[in-house]
Amino acid sequence: MIELSMPELKRIESVVRNNEGYLSFAQGALRLRGGIDASIKEYAQQILQTDKADYYQDALGILPLRKKIAEMLASEYQSPIGIDNVMITHGGSGALTCLALTLLSAGDEVILLEPSYPVYESIVKFSKAVPVFVPAFEMKKIQGEQQWVLDVSVIEQAITPHTKMLILSNPSNPCGTVLSREELEQLRRIAELHNIYLVVDEVYDDFIFEGQFYSSTPLIPQSDRVLRVGSFSKSLGMSGWRVGFLVAPFRLIKSISVMQGCAFNCPSVIGQYAALYGLEHKNDIIPRSFDQVKKSRDLACAFFDLLQEQGIVSYVKPTAGFYLFFKTQQEDSFELVMNILQEAKIAMAPGCDFGQTAKPFVRFCYARDPEVVVEGIKRLQDYFIRKNISQSVQMMSNSL
């Protein structure tokens, strides 16, 4: 039997779900007032008046959704992505599951870059491969400012003849930063040189607040080693609908879709139609949630800036995605997170979920209504004041 450890954040999230009065900034889901965009659900209701969504569909996903994704990516990245490069999946995790189960043999090694999204480790393990954690991202003070710095050399050092894959998220979960074009190119070169698959989980690609995001998408037609994961759980906030997608070389899509046909049969068909509508109306729907998430990020940063000035935490301002990842003064933040959960009824994800080197950190998901973030900040502030960790926080935070 394979014993997978459940990420602590899932355990914490279930406390929130089954009890009253908690505010959760733990699970990485976009949650805005009123749920997902009403127009998506109205369209789903129309589909339910037909039998379109009732029966099994192709394991690759429904044709119009694959077509729409291919067209969108081809135009956005000026790249020859075709329908044969696209498979619809049961969320981003379904895409990762299918590709890992297909491409990995027992005993293969998979490099995960710390801090790493915890599900990657589990997916590698149930694929009977071996996760190899490489602390490639380090938070460093450069010219007076905290930055996450990628050290590519430690990745190369970790490669062995058994290495088959490297999985990372970009924008980063949990760091909230993006790779530079140069860094992405370096990773691609490493993948090609060593014949390993480079899997880039880009589920937060619609939430870039500052700077330039470089997707792996345009590398796919140029390389047989690059795979890119996408999701509607984040962009459209449809996490309960379970629809994502995989973009990869046709040869790989072919094998992976056979696997998906066996393990999943097909992704939820009503979910696929809902995602199709959402994607077709993306330009109306996403800006609304983008603005809310950006506002929430700014509020969270204003508060954590104060804590940082007090020396209570240090962090890199997130430029993308859903997370503010702050370093505490603890060697392991777990106890602090559980304490805050209990006393302030605020749920966050402890750093231990993201690897050994991430233990001092805490992940705060700000993809909530700004009012919810303000309420969360107030509770955290009260907690810190009560704890006398810094009495001056109160004074400082009056300016908030």
The residues pairing with 131 across neighbouring beta strands, listed in sequence order, are: 110
Q: Where in 219-258 is the site for its own copies (CB under 8 A)?
A: 233, 237-242, 255, 258
Helix (H, G, I), strand (E, B), or coil: what is residue 374?
helix
Q: Is 265 in the site for its own copies (CB under 8 A)?
A: yes
Helix axes 250-263, 91-103, angle to 10 degrees: 110
Q: Which two tokens stand for residue 295?
A: 């506002």
Q: How far is the CB of 332 from its own copies (least distance, A)?
A: 22
For 374, counting Cβ atoms within 10 Å of its Cβ (0-12 exposed, 13-18 middle, 19+ buried), the class is middle
Q: Is 166 in the site for its own copies (CB under 8 A)?
A: no
Helix axes 63-77, 269-280, angle to 10 degrees: 30
Residue with tokens 């704890």: 387
- Please give the Cα distance from 89 to 43 (Å, whole number): 20
The residues pairing with 141 across neighbouring beta strands, listed in sequence order, are: 146
Q: Is 149 in the site for its own copies (CB under 8 A)?
A: no
Which CB, 188 or 242, lies closer to its own copies? Answer: 242
Residue with tokens 């999204």: 117
Q: How far is the CB of 30 from its own copies (least distance, A)?
A: 9
- Please give the Cα distance from 363 to 347 (Å, whole number): 10
Which CB, 82 or 183, lies closer to its own copies? Answer: 82
Q: Is 119 in the site for its own copies (CB under 8 A)?
A: yes
Q: How far is the CB of 21 from its own copies (least distance, A)?
A: 18
Longest alpha-carbon distance in the chain = 62
Length of the chain: 400
Q: Is 156 in the site for its own copies (CB under 8 A)?
A: no
Q: Is 337 in the site for its own copies (CB under 8 A)?
A: no
Q: How far is the CB of 55 from its own copies (least distance, A)?
A: 5
Burial 124-150 (b: 16+ CB within 10 A, else e): bbebebbbbbbbbbebeeeeeeeebeb
Out of 192, 261, 305, 383, name the contact with its own copies by CB under 8 A.
261
Q: Where in 191-210 is the site for its own copies (CB under 8 A)?
A: none
Q: Is 128 in the site for its own copies (CB under 8 A)?
A: yes
Nearest to 28 by CA among 275, 167, 201, 276: 201
Q: How far is the CB of 138 from its own copies (least distance, A)?
A: 27
Residue 291 is inside which H or E element, if any? helix 282-309
The DSSP bridge pattern shows strands 244-247 and 86-89 to be antiparallel
Q: Is 396 in the site for its own copies (CB under 8 A)?
A: no
Stretch that binds its own copies, among 52-60, 169-177, 212-220, 322-330 (CB under 8 A): 52-60
Q: How far is the CB of 15 from its own copies (least distance, A)?
A: 12
Q: Where in 369-388 is the site for its own copies (CB under 8 A)?
A: none
Q: Which two tokens stand for residue 392?
A: 């001056």
Out of 15, 29, 130, 389, name the contact with its own copies by CB under 8 A.
29
- Is the alpha carbon torsion for 62, 67, 68, 72 positive or negative? positive
Q: Is 49 in the site for its own copies (CB under 8 A)?
A: yes
x-or-dash pattern for its own copies, window 63-102, by CB under 8 A? ---------------------------xx-xx--x---xx
Q: Which two tokens stand for residue 117?
A: 């999204």
Q: Is 280 in the site for its own copies (CB under 8 A)?
A: no
Out of 19, 20, 21, 34, name the contact with its own copies by CB under 8 A.
34
Stretch that binds its own copies, among 23-31, 293-301, 353-361, 391-399 (CB under 8 A): 23-31
Q: Is 122 in the site for its own copies (CB under 8 A)?
A: yes
Out of 152, 154, 259, 374, name the contact with its own copies by CB under 8 A.
259
Stretch that binds its own copies, among 209-217, 265-273, 306-314, 368-376 (CB under 8 A): 265-273
- Please give the Cα distance from 156 to 76 (Å, whole number): 31
Which CB, 261 or 305, lies closer to its own copies? Answer: 261
Q: How far is CA 229 from the centre of its chain?
A: 10
Helix (H, G, I), strand (E, B), or coil: what is residue 207?
coil
Footprint on this chain of its own copies (rule: CB under 8 A): 1-6, 10, 14, 17, 27, 29, 31, 34-36, 41, 44-45, 48-51, 53-59, 90-91, 93-94, 97, 101-107, 119, 122-123, 126-128, 233, 237-242, 255, 258-259, 261-271
